[in-house]
Amino acid sequence: MSFWKKNGLLFVVFLTGAAVLVVEILAVRILSPYYGNTIFTVSGVLSVILAALSVGYYLGGRLADKHPSEKIFFSIILISGLLVLLLQLFTIILLPSMGHSLSMVSGPIVSSLMMFFVPSFLLGMLSPFTIKLQQLRLPEQGVGTISGRIFFWSTLGSILGSLMTGFVLIPNLGVNEILIYTGSLLVLLGLLPILKLGFKKKIIAQIILLIGLVVVTTSSIVASEEQEENVLYIKDGIYQKIMIYDTEDAYGRGVRIMQQDRSPSSAMFLDSDELVFEYSKYYPAYQFFKPDLKEALIIGGAAYSIPKVLLEEIEDITVDVVEIEPSLFELSKEYFRLPDDDRLNNYAEDGRRFLANTEKKYDLIFGDAYYSRYSIPAHLSTKEFFELSKSKLTDEGIFMGNFLGRFGDTAPSILLSEIKTFQEVFPNSYYIATSKQKFDGYQNVVFIGYNSDRKVDFSDLAIREHENITISGIAEHLVDIGSLDLTEHILFTDNYAPVDYLTAKAIKNTKTAE
């Protein structure tokens, strides 16, 4: 017996095992722009794909016992490849409407069932089918030996697929391209043996035509999406899908937006470097706490709006920026007028990890990684994170953070839980509601934690007469903490911080109120 006849099926399950993990990881990336990169998205995808594989194992084994045909086996691979190619059409045509109509809790499960169940089910059928075919090829080997080898090579392929997707494919290719390559690999893996096994030429020609139509159609739709007149840049980053586009604000003023997944994370006026987002305009409040800034740390760069104004405003400042998405630094230079400046140090890593490792002390730490209500990083929201941040502040240094939520939520509330947690670490703290405390909708709230016992009175005449209209009106936006009952709200810790759950609850309450 030839080497291929003896080991060919092991090679096949190795590649299909890799394909399963590629699809599984991509599924999270595909759904994240619509439902957020939350525990609901990850759990929904994993649950649906595991369910699909389980059903595939069961029915694949039964089918193999009744019809142990290599034609059927490779046809399953071919069909699974076609469905992976079709995922692009589902992503472009169906997902936008589903993503905006379904909640971030139920949406990932429903969308995963519609998009990823069938291809995962078909790929799951292959392992038991391979065991049956291998047993017929090598009757002298025991079922246990054959099963062990099949699952070894399939799992080894899954490990490779997982590592390749995370460390090679996503950093270098877009989701659409990875889907095309994975689907095409499966199609070829199924089609070439079918040609050798003697399928009818007419059927083969129809299959090839169908494959060509799928690839051409999806590629043209993707190309048209990327060539929209106002879209300057669109590509999958390591953590989010990044899009940069030009638009106009409510007053007809030109604005450039950076969008990560489904949420605008930063913006710039085309005719000036004036700050666009309301919460960012409160950054000058540092002047009343620590006016002589020398060292500043920004956690979450996006388009580097805050670093730009600090560099322009303070001559002898050093600004360290920690931005986990590596491409944003160069994109900000190209599209958002970020200057080359020796006073700016950029670090492409996680903000909490950076804080834990740095020996520096900062006059200002500005937390701007909470850009989206769909993807709030839990590890940057806990008591331990705020304690770490406080330990890296100079005397009278301040932590400022942009958080999101609703004051009208019933307990437990994401916003009031965050306030409770922050206040535990920073007893001398202040909270500025960009839309005022009595506003019942979702809004940005700027947290200020002061590493000092000195109190700041925002009703002071010097503040009320400040030349900056946003700063002079802070007193009207200051949250009356004494009016809030925080007893029933959660203190977020590394052990327990149900951020995604409370975020989903807040979004649901907002939509209900509307």
Per the DSSP assignment, residues forming a β-bridge with 243 are 234, 259
Of the residues 226, 244, 267, the one at which a domain ends: 226
> 193 and 284: one domain?
no
Residue whose C-alpha is closest to residue 411's, from 468, 490, 477, 492: 490
Residue whose C-alpha is closest to residue 476's, from 426, 439, 428, 513: 439
> 212 and 280: one domain?
no
Angle between helices 117-124 and 126-137 (to 10 degrees): 20
> 399 and 477: one domain?
yes
Residues 6+ apart with CB under 8 A from 406: 413, 415, 440, 441, 442, 443, 506, 509, 510
Q: What is the pLDDT of residues 190-244, one digit of tens each?
A: 988 887 776 666 666 666 666 666 666 666 555 555 556 688 998 888 888 899 9
> 200 and 310: one domain?
no
* 301 touches 336 (CB < 8 A): no
Higher-confidence residue of 154 and 373: namely 154
- Strands 254-260, 263-269: parallel, antiparallel or unpaired by DSSP? antiparallel
If you average pLDDT over every residue of the chain, what do you get?
88
Domain that holds residue 472: 275-513
**89 in a structural domain:** yes
Q: Take residue 210 and report the two structure tokens written for it.
A: 């169908």
Per the DSSP assignment, residues forming a β-bridge with 432 are 446, 478
**30 in a structural domain:** yes
- At 197, is the secondary structure helix, strand, or coil? helix
Mean pLDDT of 50-76: 94
In this structure, what CATH number is given to the domain that contains residue 418? Answer: 3.40.50.150
> 297 and 372: one domain?
yes
Q: What is the pLDDT of residues 373-405, one digit of tens each?
A: 556 788 899 999 999 999 999 999 999 999 988
> 43 and 179: one domain?
yes
**294 in a structural domain:** yes
> 197 and 338: one domain?
no
> 314 and 195: one domain?
no
Higher-confidence residue of 108 and 438: namely 108
> 178 and 100: one domain?
yes
Q: Which residue has the tokens 């703290």?
A: 429
- Residue 288 pLDDT exceeds 70: yes
CA–CA distance, 391 with 402 (Å, rounded to integer): 20
**242 in a structural domain:** no
Report the number of distinct structural domains present in the chain: 2
Structural element, H or E, at residue 27: helix 3-35
Structural element, H or E, at residue 328: helix 328-335
> Which stretch of 252-256, 282-286, 336-340, 409-413 has the lowest confidence by average pLDDT?
409-413
What is the percent of the chain where pLDDT is above 90?
A: 55
CA–CA distance, 41 with 34 (Å, rounded to integer): 10
Of the residues 226, 261, 296, the one at which a domain ends: 226
> Which stretch of 4-8, 199-203, 315-319, 473-477 has the lowest confidence by average pLDDT?
199-203
In this structure, what CATH number is given to the domain that contains residue 57? Answer: 1.20.1250
Q: What is the pLDDT of residues 318-355, one digit of tens each?
A: 999 999 999 999 999 999 999 999 999 999 999 999 99
What ranges in 36-174 are assigned the alpha helix state H?
A: 39-66, 70-89, 95-101, 107-115, 117-124, 126-137, 143-164, 170-172
> 70 and 168: one domain?
yes
> 431 and 312: one domain?
yes
Q: Which residue has the tokens 């804080």?
A: 355
* 119 touches 23 (CB < 8 A): yes
- Residue 289 pLDDT exceeds 80: yes
Give φ, ψ of 436 to 5 degrees. Answer: 75, 155
Mean pLDDT of 457-471: 86
Sheet containing strand 241-248, strands side by side? 231-236, 241-248, 254-260, 263-269
- Residue 116 pLDDT exceeds 50: yes
* 405 touches 433 (CB < 8 A): no
The region that residue 337 occupies, defined by phi over 0 for left and psi between -120 and 50 for alpha, beta otherwise, is: left
**250 in a structural domain:** no
